[in-house]
Structure formats: C-alpha cells, structure tokens
Amino acid sequence: MTEKVPPDEGNAQPAASSAGAATADEVGVGADNASGRPPEVDVDDDDWSPVPGRSRDEDVRIAIHEAGHAVAARALGPQVGGVTVNPSADGSADGLCWGVGYKEAFAQGRGDASDVREALAPLMPEPGEDRRGVFDIFGHVRDQCIEFLAGRAAERILLDGKPVEPVDDLRQARELAFLIGSSDEAVETFIAHCDVAARDLLMP
C-alpha cells in the first residue's frame, strides 16, 4: 500500500490499496497524446490528478507501486480483492492493494501483519523442534513478504531515481519475518532475499 508520502503501506494488503477495473479509455490507452487525457482536454500536469495536491508523476508512481503488489500476488497464486490509487478513507495511504477478505478484516480492526504474527507466534516451533508441521506457514510468510516488497521493486524496475521508502510495507514484512527468524540480522537478511525475489518475479 502506498501511504501518504513518504510512507507506503503496501499490501493491505491493506495498508496501501481499493477496487475497480479501469477501461483502456480511463487509463489513456489509445489516447492521442502522452498525458493519457483526451486530446481536447488541456490541463496542466499539476491539475491532472483527481486527488487534490497530487501531481501526475505521483499518480503514476502510486499506480506502478500498487500494480507491483497486485502482479506479484497473482504470480504467486492468491486472488487480488482490489487495487486503487485513491487515498484511503483515513488519509493514511495514497493507494491500496488487498487480498480477498482483507477489506472485511480491516473493517473489523484486524488483518495487519502484526495481528497475524500475534496469532501465529505461539504455534511456531522452538529451536530444535520439528518444523514439518509449519512448512505451510513458512511458505506463506515468504510469499507475503515478497508481495509487500513488490511495490518498491516495481518502482525500481519502471521508474528513474530512488523509490519512496515503503515504510508500512517494510514494517509488515518484518512483522511476518519474525515468525521464522529470531534476530534482527536474520530478519533483515530474509527481507533482502524477498526484495530480490520480488524483483525477479516482476522483471519478466
């Protein structure tokens, strides 16, 4: 999810995305000019966005970021419940991408990665204990972390310059990573792995 600049909440995945499919006309495919607007409309780039105070470049960045989350989710298998570049109702996110069922979970005040970690932590084996019973959790954590990092990966692939720091995406990825790593070093190494995996997943 993309939070108010600079943060980004990436996967709400909530935290950073809402719903609706756009037609080719709505996104400017086939338009006669580079802006994507119909040729008869002459508007300054600063006035392009339907979101007050947001530039066209920021709209494009947020769209690419949220699309990164959505494409990664579909490539990994989960269905996407919705994606939007519209800000969240509380103004904390510039855009959102969420899985099926997340909207209801967040409406009930749950669904954040910290909630998931809190629920699953007691089920995780201690060092030296058999881990075979939680392989599915390990796989889900890896995939979810890749999804959280895919927004930034998409920005790196498609945009010039350094991406906006996805503060909430990284926070939620770290929450989940602590289910399978017990030190800051292990978690940061795992996050770095997922960052590369997100890029590799999106690059084709």
Please name the helix (run of DSSP H) or strand (run of DSSP E) that holds residue 97, with its range, or none.
Answer: strand 93-99
Please name the helix (run of DSSP H) or strand (run of DSSP E) that holds residue 98, with its range, or none.
Answer: strand 93-99
Model pLDDT, residue 129: 72
Which domains does the chain show, CATH number per domain? 2-202 (1.20.58)
Tell me which of 37-46, 88-97, 148-157 is least confident: 37-46
Sheet holding 80-84, edge to edge: 2-3, 93-99, 80-84
Closest CA to 96 of 144, 63, 143: 63
5-22 per-position pLDDT tens digit: 433 333 344 333 333 333
